[in-house]
Amino acid sequence: MQPSLPTKRAAEPALSFHIAAVCAWRQFAHDDGLVAYFGTEVDIYRRTAVFVDKILRGAKPAELPVEQPTRFELVLNLKTAKAIGLTIPPTLLARADEVIE
């Protein structure tokens, strides 16, 4: 999904066309999208603060290393799964950080 697209605007057509859609924003699953899978927001914000601190202390942004999240969260929307006729395996439900019923 396009990151700048409002999550509700992306979730609605996916639901109406019975598409199993996944997004990297937590709000997507809360807006009736099927799955949200994303880097843990708290960790991302903490790392962002570290980068801002380094830049404000004089580090050149181009010389800072690129980082990727190391911890991820999974949010599943069972209401949406049912609406599109999809059964979520119990093993996936058990691994989810949040399940919306």
Q: Within a domain: residue 91?
A: yes
Q: With beta carbons less than 8 A apart as the criterion, state whether 97 and 74 touch.
A: yes
Q: Measured between alpha carbons, how far apart are the two ends of the chain, in Å?
A: 23
Q: Within a domain: residue 34?
A: yes
Pick from 21-25, 77-81, 84-88, 96-100: least confident? 21-25
DSSP letter, residue 7: H
Number of structural domains, the chain?
A: 1
What domain range is 36 assigned to? 7-100
Residue 72 has pLDDT above 80, yes or no: yes
Partners of 77 in beta bridges:
100
pTM of the model: 0.80
